Amino acid sequence: MTQEPETVLCGRMYRGGELKYTEVGITDGKIVTVGSLVSGGEDRIELGSSMTVLPGFMDPHVHFRDPGMTQKETFSTGSMSALCGGVTCVLDMPNTKPPVTDIDTLMRKKAAVAGRSYTDYGLFAALTKGCRASLLAPYVPAFKLFMGSTTGNILFNDDSEIPDVMADVARTGKVVSVHAEDDDLIAKGIEEKCCQDHLRDRPAEAEYSALRRLARYSGSNRINICHCTNAPQAEEAHRLGFTTEVAMHHLTFFTGRYESALYKVNPPIRDKVSRDGLRELFRRGGIDMFGSDHAPHTLDEKSADFDSAPGGIPGVETQIPMAAEMVRSGEIPLELLVSMGAENPGRIFSQPKGRIEPGYDADFAIFDMRRVTEIDASKLHSRPDSPLTAGCARCSPIPL
């Protein structure tokens, strides 16, 4: 006799490309049955017909700053922020303090954040010269390679050293998420006063160069290009067999209009033509995943002169509601929101997440698409003085 599920969730759910009334049986946090009538369930949750039930979203790119920079964010504030934005799983980047480049530091970070997250999570390790990827692999969802300098000091951009490490990673089968700006093409030393100066110093050519240098791994490694800023870059990444991520700030902002240090980010906000091209490619389904690149800094740091302000924009809480608003307004289809925010990250990072199907984790994002509100930065759950979210003052449906 098959056991009855502990809980049954009933409502209008997204499955197989459409929304339909569905009953889902859940035991031990896993989906065990899916159908139009599921019996049992001590605990039966009936959602009204106005609710839209989507798979819980996965953000494969956050910087929660814990340990070491908890004045900017903690795992608790970051993951609460994620949850309130419909994100039920995050992958946290390794540029915390100390940076996660070896097994001891990884284990210490695991212990430090244990029991403090409101969502599921995985912790990246960074690739560095001589790092032991095969030793780290069982404990990480994926690796990070920083080819361009940014927050944290884990730049690794030397073609006499990267290939050995990539060969080691290839044997583990794990994805390498790459910050693909070639540091040799990033200008340094001239004072920057605004986002246009930052763009001058970090041209798209730095991204194309990084891709050309990564091409040699196209048959051997699983490579994911983080935060694509322009359409030719994302298209070339796909030609090479790489997967792609996009952040809401690159789909939204452009230089000339958005110039203060609040918008300073790496890779930089580009010009309007690049932004429009990227957004067009995204609308056509030409990018695999959303990755918020949630990178909070304190308001004090962001209020310093432009040149010394750190790069990074928060976004884990606003990304999915903003994309849901694009669905509501007809800019993108619901399928694209779900594939980019849930199905593809689950598949690419080999997690049983992102689909409302038996065997998958029972993670859901429940929206009331009729309730639309303006994003109010003061109500976000990220550390309160993180001042900017991509698209503040834009409208978005509220995840419940």
Residues assigned a catalytic role: 293
First to last CA, the chain: 36
Task: State the minimum distance, in angstroms, from the CB of residue 145 to Zn ion.
Answer: 10
292 near ligand DOR, judged by CB under 6 A: no
C-alpha to C-alpha distance for 244 and 178, rounded to whole angstroms: 10
109: partner contacted, choices Zn ion, ligand DOR, none (Cβ within 5-8 A by kind): none
Span 46-75, contacts to ligand DOR by CB under 6 A: 63
Residue 11 or 310: the one with the smaller Cβ distance to ligand DOR is: 310
265 near ligand DOR, judged by CB under 6 A: yes
Residue 236 or 293: the one with the smaller Cβ distance to Zn ion is: 293
> Nearest Cα to 87, choosing from 360, 295, 319?
319
Residue 302 backbone phi and psi in degrees, to 5 = -75, -20
Task: State the minimum distance, in angstroms, from the CB of residue 134 to ligand DOR.
Answer: 25
95 near ligand DOR, judged by CB under 6 A: yes
Kindly tell me the burial class for residue 248, based on how many C-beta atoms sit within 10 Å of its own C-beta (0-12, 13-18, 19 or more): buried
95: partner contacted, choices Zn ion, ligand DOR, none (Cβ within 5-8 A by kind): ligand DOR
Angle of the 231-239 helix axis to the 204-214 helix axis, nearest 10: 0
Helix (H, G, I), strand (E, B) or coil at 17: coil
Contacts of 289 (CB under 8 A, 6+ apart): 60, 224, 243, 244, 245, 246, 340, 341, 344, 345, 348
The CA-CA-CA angle for residues 152, 158, 159, to 5°, reads: 145
C-alpha to C-alpha distance for 173 and 209, rounded to whole angstroms: 25
Task: Centre a 10 Å sphere on the Cβ of residue 190 and count the other Cβ atoms it contains.
Answer: 9
Task: State the minimum distance, in angstroms, from the CB of residue 338 to ligand DOR.
Answer: 26
302 near ligand DOR, judged by CB under 6 A: no
387 near ligand DOR, judged by CB under 6 A: no
C-alpha to C-alpha distance for 61 and 348, rounded to whole angstroms: 13
Residue 312 or 341: the one with the smaller Cβ distance to ligand DOR is: 312
Out of 174, 179, 249, 275, which residue is the one contacting ligand DOR (CB under 6 A)? 179
In this structure, is the dihedral angle defined by the CA atoms of residues 373, 374, 375 and 378, taken in order, positive or negative? negative
**Listed ranges 156-164, 183-191, 206-214, 306-314: which one lies at the site for ligand DOR (CB under 6 A):** 306-314
150 near ligand DOR, judged by CB under 6 A: yes
Helix (H, G, I), strand (E, B) or coil at 26: strand
Task: State the minimum distance, in angstroms, from the CB of residue 227 to Zn ion.
Answer: 6
In the bound state, the residue with its beta carbon closest to Zn ion is 179
Amino acid at 329: S
151 near ligand DOR, judged by CB under 6 A: yes
Residue 59 or 361: the one with the smaller Cβ distance to Zn ion is: 59
For tokens 């303090």, name the residue: 97
Task: State the minimum distance, in angstroms, from the CB of residue 289 to Zn ion.
Answer: 13
Residue 325 backbone phi and psi in degrees, to 5 = -65, -35
Out of 5, 277, 311, 341, which residue is the one contacting ligand DOR (CB under 6 A)? 311
Binding site for Zn ion (CB under 5 A): 179, 293
**Listed ranges 10-18, 191-199, 204-212, 304-312: which one lies at the site for ligand DOR (CB under 6 A):** 304-312
Residue 22 or 151: the one with the smaller Cβ distance to ligand DOR is: 151
Structure tokens, 175: 């994805």
Residue 81 or 95: the one with the smaller Cβ distance to ligand DOR is: 95
Task: State the minimum distance, in angstroms, from the CB of residue 296 to ligand DOR.
Answer: 8
Residue 179 or 275: the one with the smaller Cβ distance to Zn ion is: 179
- Rounded to 10 degrees, the C-alpha dihedral 224/230/232/234 comes to 20
Task: Centre a 10 Å sphere on the Cβ of residue 175 and count the other Cβ atoms it contains.
Answer: 24
386 near ligand DOR, judged by CB under 6 A: no
Site size toward ligand DOR (CB under 6 A) is 11
Task: State the minimum distance, in angstroms, from the CB of residue 282 to ligand DOR.
Answer: 19
Helix (H, G, I), strand (E, B) or coil at 249: helix
- Return residues touching ligand DOR (CB under 6 A): 63, 95, 150-151, 179, 265-266, 295, 310-312
